């Protein structure tokens, strides 16, 4: 992705968050200089990947296939003694018509919550022993009610609704075109996107960045390059 796309899309989410009455913490607005000068007391921001993530999954068309993320809080799967929070909370901003590729999580249980805007349609498969799509029914929980659907079937999550997804349940989603942007929240076990994601088509989670303009907002993958304690 171009840095200009990353900057533009983060700014778009910041602006739209106001429409959804979502208040962001101060580190959502940190500049590059702020990140370069943070103190050791804020190492949790970096170590648990709090803040922004923008990806087009290597497809080159963010508006069609992509995701904007803001992580509010998180623990650590690798260092639970240092960061003992067993939970994670994210804003997953889905633009009108935007889709997310098929993937599952090895250990994470997550609630996907439509906090407002359009309608989120999620397509489901179980993973088989070879991490392929299994031809078996998929059981999920929608607003506390178990629901079983055939492999490859879709469910719609309307504003106010939520779905619980278990480990090794493949899911892909898209915002139904014409229904509007969606403020999706994720509440889950402590999350580590570097080790807990399995994308069906080997989609790269972190895109290569073309630095075509100065950085306005850092994303997760920038921390190792620009943040030093």
Is the CB of residue 56 less than 8 Å from the CB of residue 1?
A: yes
Encode pLDDT of 21-78 as tens digits. Answer: 999 999 999 999 999 999 999 999 999 999 999 999 999 999 999 999 999 999 999 9
Closest by CA to 75, choosing from 53, 107, 39, 101, is: 107
Closest by CA to 120, choosing from 70, 160, 170, 80, is: 160
Is the CB of residue 147 less than 8 Å from the CB of residue 108?
A: no
3-state secondary structure 144-176: CEEEEECCCCEEEECCCCEEEECCCEEEEEEEC
Q: What is the CATH number of the domain that holds 61?
A: 2.60.120.10
Two tokens at 147?
A: 């629901």
- Residue 193: the pLDDT is 87
pLDDT band at residue 120 using 50, 70 and 90 as cut-offs: very high
Q: Which domain holds residue 121?
A: 3-226
Structural domains in the chain (count)? 1
Percent of the chain with pLDDT over 90: 95
pLDDT band at residue 106 using 50, 70 and 90 as cut-offs: very high
């Amino acid at each position: 992705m171009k840095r200009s796309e990353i900057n533009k899309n983060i700014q778009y989410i910041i602006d739209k968050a106001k429409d959804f009455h979502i208040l962001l913490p101060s580190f959502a607005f940190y500049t590059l200089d702020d990140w370069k000068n943070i103190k050791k007391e804020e190492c949790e921001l970096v170590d648990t990947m709090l803040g922004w993530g923008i990806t087009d999954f290597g497809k080159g068309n963010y508006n069609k296939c992509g995701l904007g993320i803001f992580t509010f809080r998180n623990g650590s799967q690798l260092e639970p003694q240092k960061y003992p929070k067993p939970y994670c909370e994210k804003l997953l901003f889905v633009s009108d018509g935007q889709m997310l590729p098929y993937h599952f999580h090895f250990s994470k249980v997550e609630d996907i919550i439509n906090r407002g805007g359009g309608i989120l349609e999620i397509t489901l498969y179980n993973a088989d022993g070879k991490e392929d799509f299994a031809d078996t029914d998929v059981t999920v929980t929608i607003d506390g009610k178990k629901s079983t659907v055939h492999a490859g079937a879709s469910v719609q999550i309307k504003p106010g609704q939520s779905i619980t997804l278990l480990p090794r349940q493949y899911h892909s989603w898209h915002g139904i075109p014409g229904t509007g942007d969606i403020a999706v929240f994720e509440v889950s076990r402590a999350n580590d996107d570097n080790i807990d994601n399995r994308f069906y088509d080997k989609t790269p989670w972190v895109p290569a960045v073309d630095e075509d303009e100065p950085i306005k907002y850092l994303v997760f993958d920038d921390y190792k390059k620009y943040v030093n304690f």
